[in-house]
Amino acid sequence: MPIDLRSDTVTKPSESMRQAMARAAVGDDVFGEDPTVRQLEDRLADLFGHEAGLFCPSGTMTNQIAINVHTRPGDEIICDKDSHIYKYEGGGIMANSGCSVKFVTGDRGRFSVADIEAALNPPADPHMPLSRLVSVENTFNRGGGSVWDMEQIKAIQTFCGEKSLGLHLDGARIFNALVATGVDAKTMGSCFDSVSICLSKGLGAPVGSVLVGSKDFIAHAVRVRKRFGGGMRQVGILAAAGLFALDNHIDLLAIDHARASKIAAALPELPYVASVIPVETNIVVFKVNHAHTVSDLVKKLDKSGVRAIPFGADMIRLVTHLGLNEHDIDETIRALRAIA
């Protein structure tokens, strides 16, 4: 079996997670009658300081629903240029919600009030799209799992309040950020009007994301989910995996972080590594020397039993997750050295 470090989405549900899924009480969730789905939605809403939650098939859908609820066609969204909502969601901002995007260039995804201020269109000028929503991604995938500073988020929250801008959190890996900083979920969640939380990344559930927000926001989101084709029936079976992950897998993220740091520490001495992005959570990204190509190195690693993913033209990404053990990490380091 190869050691798969392509993503933290490659994990498979454990026997005990499968048992929790098999035992789940279910009902027709389109009728709002699945007790396990409700339990998961309520639990995450409460945890992140919001009134209501909505279970969806993917983080792309929770993000895209949130964008649709926050905006009207013709509005503009402010986000980092490498944001998942723009780069990896199939053009959904434009196709689903008819909005344009104004980029800011953050420090590995983390931008400031001044950056937003510079990107903001004057609301009284009818020539320009109406700036409506700011989206923050924490942790920031393209930044190598970089973590936002709480004070910076609070400053953005205050600014968005003053300017009547919506504020969304793409929290696909929000638990990684919380575990890395010790910030509690309520402090983080209550800074935002809406939060998207993935259960299928580091938490290790097979599927599912939850969007949290106010009662009104989620009532509107239910309609948009239906429109996007995301209404599901007896999905308590899937929600049970999410509940199991919340009970058992949050603390394990600290292990993923330590293992990512261990891999990163072995990289600088390798001849094909030009630089390593500082590791803050479970994502290791390194830049490849000009003398080597990404595809060649990924192929060599693959032959040595380690799967990695090309990350743009000159970078490679390795992600730790709960499907790995300590031996896998040692073997990964051995393979990284062996291909040098």
Nearer CB in complex with ligand PLP: 109/166: 109
DSSP 33-56: --HHHHHHHHHHHHHTT-SEEEEE
> With binding defined as CB under 6 A, does residue 209 bind ligand PLP?
yes
Retrieve residue 127's tokens.
């020539």
DSSP string across 301-327: HHHTTEE-EE-STTEEEEE--TT--HH
What separation in angstroms does the CA of 194 have from each of 68, 156, 228, 313?
Answer: 12, 14, 18, 33
Spatial separation of the C-alpha atoms in residues 338 and 266, rounded to whole Å: 12
Q: Which of 11, 36, 60, 97 binds ligand PLP (CB under 6 A)?
A: 60
Tell me the closest approach of the beta carbon of residue 212 to ligand PLP, in angstroms: 15
Pick the stretch among 21-29, 54-62, 108-116, 324-332 that binds ligand PLP (CB under 6 A).
54-62
Q: Where are the beta strands (DSSP E) in 143-272?
A: 166-171, 194-198, 209-213
Window of 58-66, 230-238, 246-254, 301-309 that interacts with ligand PLP by CB under 6 A? 58-66
Binding segment (CB under 6 A) for ligand PLP, from list 194-202, 252-260, 309-317, 332-340: 194-202
Q: Does 58 bind ligand PLP (CB under 6 A)?
A: yes
- Rounded Cα distance between 199 and 182, Å, is 19
317 binds ligand PLP (CB under 6 A): no
CA 32 to chain centre: 26
**Residue 256 contacts ligand PLP per CB under 6 A:** no
SS3 of the chain: helix, strand, coil, percent, to 5? 45, 20, 40
Q: Write each residue from 257 to 296 as x if it is in contact with ligand PLP (CB under 6 A), else as -, in one continuous string.
A: ----------------------------------------
Q: Which is nearer to ligand PLP, 96 or 200 (CB)?
A: 200
Site string for ligand PLP, 96-135 (x = CB under 6 A): ----------------------------------------
Closest to ligand PLP by CB, 90 vs 268, is: 90
Cα gap 232→37, rounded to integer Å? 10
> What is the C-alpha to C-alpha distance for residues 19 and 247, in angstroms, rounded to an integer?
14
59 binds ligand PLP per the rule CB under 6 A = yes
- Calculate Rg over the CA atoms of the chain: 20
Q: Please select the residue that binds ligand PLP; options are 179, 198, 237, 241, rule is CB under 6 A.
A: 198
How many residues in the shown chain lie near ligand PLP by CB under 6 A?
13
Q: Which residue is nearest to ligand PLP (CB)?
A: 59
Q: Which stretch binds ligand PLP (CB under 6 A): 196-204, 214-222, 279-287, 293-301?
A: 196-204
Residue 164, classified by CB atoms within 10 Å of its CB into exposed (0-12), middle (13-18) or buried (19+), is exposed
Least distance in angstroms from the C-beta of 203 to ligand PLP:
12
Nearer to ligand PLP, 277 or 336 (CB): 277
Rounded to 10°, the helix 35-47/236-248 angle is: 40
Using CB under 6 A as the criterion, which residues of the chain lie in contact with ligand PLP when the complex forms? Answer: 58-60, 63, 84, 137, 141, 170, 172, 198, 200-201, 209
